[in-house]
Amino acid sequence: MNRNRASGGMSRHAIPDEETQVWSQAADSLEDFLKLRNDESAFQRPINVNRLVASLPEEDDPKFYNGVSHVREELLGELHSMKTQADKELRALNTAIEKIDILIALRASDPGPQVDKRNKRTSGRATSPNAGSSGTPQPSLGGGSGRGSAAPSVGSNSASGGSSAVRTGKVGTGGRHEIGRAVAYRAPPKKNPETKQMEEAQWILAKVRSYEGQNKYKVEDADDESPATYSATASQICPLPAADSYGPTAQFPDFPASSRVLAVYPGTTVFYGSVVVEPPRKSGPPSRAANVKVERMYKVKFDDDEDTIQNVPAHLVFASPAGM
């Protein structure tokens, strides 16, 4: 299934040439086996053998010795043909099994993304987009279920925590974004160094590094394995709410069930298209909310993720742009 689509930035991991070749050889062997099994003569041989055996007279019949001689050669020929057919089928199956074993070994040793899984960048111990200059990672406030570790937390954005952009979770809204602001950034397409193929543009978790004037910014990728700096316009940025906001006054976007959103896939720093299954529960009384910190979580279903429902922190969810 081709997952190259703009809506979620999901690009199927390219299958290495060696794996493709091994799988092709395994498929050819299985096809040979099926051809052998579907050979009409293969079905007829056991019938012929049974017919010949049934035609033999009883051993105590005087005609036995005379009757065996004219059937013997034909019976041996059919039995030999059956054995040859079985040997061919066995060789075809053994070849297919051998190739599949090789393919399994290649997949197990592949350090990159696995085939039939999303091509998502794992966050590892990704630092918070608002981490201090020391580069010390800040722990996530809540773990989403899914692959890999929990998505990285984003730090406090008190300066613009109440902006309309935070309330709506829309791209290109709100005023100027302050330095260190956690944002979702639409990274441009780039060539995969391993596959030499162009990957689709992706929405990634980032932070604002500087304001360049005329609605232009420098943003830094939150992925601590391969951080990169990009030049971005306001239309390529969606500000995210502060991860440390709690209680009834916390500034989070409100997306009801069935809303189309982009959310960070658990264990990655990449946003993917999804549908809200269940929004976060409403906060309790102010007195209780002031003492108990409960991270707000969306239950979402990611595109091409079958019926799996994932938990994603509310500060890592924003409205899906038009057409996605």
Residue labelled with tokens 């440390």: 244
pLDDT at site 256: 93
Of all helices (H) and strands (E), which one includes residue 317?
A: strand 317-319
Work out the angle at residue 39's Cα, subtended by the Cα atoms of residues 35 and 44, and round it to the nearest 5 degrees. 155
- Return the SS3 of 268: strand
Work out the angle at residue 234's Cα, subtended by the Cα atoms of residues 176 and 320, and round it to the nearest 5 degrees. 115
Instruction: Extract the tokens encoding 161.
Output: 């925590």
Q: Which amino acid is at 177?
A: H
pLDDT at site 62: 59
pLDDT at site 261: 94
pLDDT at site 5: 34
pLDDT at site 275: 94
Distance from chain centroid for Cα 102: 23
- Cα–Cα distance measured from residue 124 to residue 111, given in angstroms and rounded to the nearest whole number: 14
Q: How does pLDDT run along the chain (324 residues), one tens digit per residue?
A: 333 333 333 333 444 567 777 778 888 888 888 888 777 777 777 787 777 777 766 666 656 656 566 677 777 788 888 888 888 888 888 888 887 877 777 766 554 444 333 444 444 433 333 333 333 333 333 333 333 333 333 333 433 333 444 444 454 445 678 888 889 999 888 888 888 888 888 899 999 999 888 888 999 988 777 678 888 888 888 888 876 655 444 567 789 999 999 999 998 889 999 999 999 876 544 444 444 456 788 999 999 888 899 999 988 999 987 655
pLDDT at site 212: 87
Residue among 123, 115, 47 nearest 81 (CA): 47
